[in-house]
Amino acid sequence: MRKKVSPGRRIAAVCVTLFFFVFLALDLVRLQIIRGQEYETASSSVSEKTATISAARGEIVDCNGEKLVYNAPGYSVIFDGAFFPSGSEQERRNEIIINLIRLFEKNGLEWNDDLPLDFDSKGNIQFREDCDTQIKEMKSKEMLNLNEYATAQNCFDALIDSYDLQSFSAEEARKIASVCYEMKRIYFNSTSTYTFADDVPENIISFIKENNSFYQGVDVEVVAVREFEDGKLAPHILGRIGAINAEEYAEKKSEGYGLTDMIGKSGIELAMESYLKGKNGEKTIYTDDNGNRTAQVTIEPEQGNTVVLTIDKNLQKVAQNSLMNALEDYAGKVGNMVDSAGAVVALDCRTGAILACATYPSYDISTYAEDAEELNKNSASPLWNRALLSTYATGSTMKPSVAIAALEAGTIDENFTVYCSGSYTYLGQHFKCEQAHETAFVNVVNAIDESCNTFFYEVGQMLGIEKMNEYRTLLGLGTKTGCELGESAGVLDSPEYRASLNQEWLPGFTVQSAIGQAGNLFTPIQLANYVATIANGGTRFRTHFIKSIKSADYSKTILENEPEIVCETGISEKTLDIVKRGMLEVGTTGYCMNYFKHLPVKVAAKTGTSQEYRKLNNQSVKINNGFLIAFAPYENPEIAIAAVGEGLTSGAYVAPVIADIVEAYFSGDSETEQIIEENVLIP
């Protein structure tokens, strides 16, 4: 007997059946109409691969948002591993590579040649200079598998054998080997690319595309090219980028870096690498039976963050031009035994922000790649950042620190005087004071103004080296200032320091130290921070180049650099006022008066001169270096500046540099022309 089905079950069955057919219909619509093109492409594909989309680096701008380093669209010629002849087709590879090289060289263009082997003037192969890391990698088991003691010729022979280059001339074989070796080094394969050349002009791009049947697997990629608003502006500060090397890759690969990435090599580009590097994107490339390709972006690349500097572009330009003019003017009028060279640093007294930082001689960072060999051989060392790395005996610029120590310790007061006869004797040693004083009895203000050595000899031996150095340490001398770039710590000479060199501290060193001689060696940026600390009432700030870091679209602030106090010196206002009065005399009545009298604000300053021995023409020769430290306005200081000129007989010769910076800063017009009296030379 058939069991009777209830009406409810019939309705449920009908509903389930209808739901099933509706679901199938909707899925057919989705597959054939909504995503039909996508699945059609995928179904006809014979291969697909994932490729990286390189992210653009972040920009670098000045404190006002003016671009200093930015990205411009450019073309790179790349080898696409999916289509370039495989390693088993070495002869075809060589044919394509040598034709590309000939094309580029015929048009005077560079291609990426990083092989650490070159020919000397006699045609012998040799290792490239300063490439020890690359040479070691080339000999490694993973690359040429040679012994550590293998010669350059051994390496070259191995390359020729590895890449079947016997039929080419030695010169062309080396060029092809450079490309093939680099392809191996970066693990070039069917899912990767190799960049043959960067920043390629459009006519070469067009030629390669027109002859794509010959240039199998050679493709063109639009990339972000690093550009400089002015390659001569602050090159030592901005720095440069370059291809990642083996050591950098080993350190950075866990952070997502690839073997073909670019990375900061110096300056801000290096110091702010983690902020400037963007996040790479990703795309999937589908290839059909006919060789047609379509690409789909799966992860959008993100441009790196924008780094905002404390540097003012226009003030930096004034500092650079004025420093160059002052040094070359001195050499032209007086002569100089050494190459014209020097540095200047300007700080905001109230925050430690670096407003300008210039080194001379300098270079054009936009043409660094072409000029590198010549720059490295230049005896004047234009690549060296004198403002942060050079250390000098800074002469009489140290006298304010001795005055502060003596006043704070109670060793002297404002009325204390020393008789200056022009010479000073201490423990049988004779020291000179070559200044002419208005009165033979000199007090602390006069001694700073007139730079009386005798006064500071006497005060120095009364104080002792420990007390002098206690206050110099408070003022930041002999320690790094804390800026984001590499800097020297300098040397604060002391019995302990001499002992570390197995030397004896002699009694005469104390009185020499009191006038800025002995073994004290300080950097221009330390001098600037030292005078800033005096000017602002005794607060020592960490110096910094970074104002803030913004997202690429400026919608987010990643970092805001607030002023950071390193040390509250505790130096009394009375002591600082006495010392600053002496410095005001230097700026308003002393040697610097002619340069400062036209300025809209009063400038307090201190000159200095020191001696050093240099080897010139295989002889040890004594030369002078001139220094000037200053702050302005005297009543309410805002800016502190330190300048040095190598080979100058007086710090007053760099007074025009201070004057130009102060005028530009307070006029609000950094393009102000230099205004100084002509033919004014300081004896």
Q: Domain 313-367+379-667 is of which CATH architecture?
A: 3-Layer(aba) Sandwich (3.40)
Give φ, ψ of 351 to 5 degrees.
-140, -20
Q: How many CA atoms lie within 13 A of 647 on its CB side?
A: 20
Q: What is the pLDDT of residue 14?
A: 56
Q: What share of the chain is helix, strand, coil (3-state, %, to 5)?
A: 40, 25, 35
Confidence category of residue 674, pLDDT binned at 50, 70, 90: very low
More confident residue, 239 or 611: 239
Mean per-residue pLDDT of the chain: 89
Q: What is the pLDDT of residue 286?
A: 77
Residues 596-647: tens digit of each pLDDT: 999 999 999 999 998 888 877 778 888 889 999 999 999 999 999 999 999 9
Assigned CATH topology for domain 40-66+229-308: Penicillin-binding protein 2a (Domain 2) (3.90.1310)
Q: How far apart are CA 340 and CA 654, in angstroms?
A: 12
Cα 197 from chain centroid?
A: 25
Give φ, ψ of 241 to 5 degrees.
-115, 165
Residues 58-76: tens digit of each pLDDT: 999 999 999 999 999 999 9
Q: What is the pLDDT of residue 671?
A: 43
Q: What is the mean pLDDT of residues 51-60?
A: 88
Asked if residue 83 has pLDDT above 70, the reply is yes
Q: What is the pLDDT of residue 448?
A: 95
Asked if residue 164 has pLDDT above 80, the reply is yes
Q: Where are the domains of the chain?
A: 40-66+229-308, 78-220, 313-367+379-667
Q: What is the pLDDT of residue 436?
A: 73
Which residue from 618, 624, 486 is spatially nearest to 543, judged by alpha carbons? Answer: 486
Residues 180-219: tens digit of each pLDDT: 999 999 889 877 889 999 889 999 999 999 999 999 999 9
Q: What is the mean pLDDT of residues 395-420?
A: 96
What single string gives the DSSP state of each residue in 276-301?
Answer: HS-B-EEEEEEEETTS-EEEEEEE--
Q: Measured in Å, how far apart are the chain's first and last C-alpha atoms?
A: 133
Residues 331-353: tens digit of each pLDDT: 888 777 888 999 999 999 999 99
Out of 290-294, 358-362, 425-429, 478-482, pick the least confident: 290-294
Number of neighbours of residue 389 by Cβ within 10 angstroms: 17
Q: How far apart are CA 184 and CA 612, in angstroms?
A: 51
Q: How far apart are CA 364 and CA 367, in angstroms?
A: 6
Q: What is the pLDDT of residue 435?
A: 77
Asked if residue 676 has pLDDT above 60, the reply is no
More confident residue, 578 or 591: 578
Q: What is the pLDDT of residue 45?
A: 47
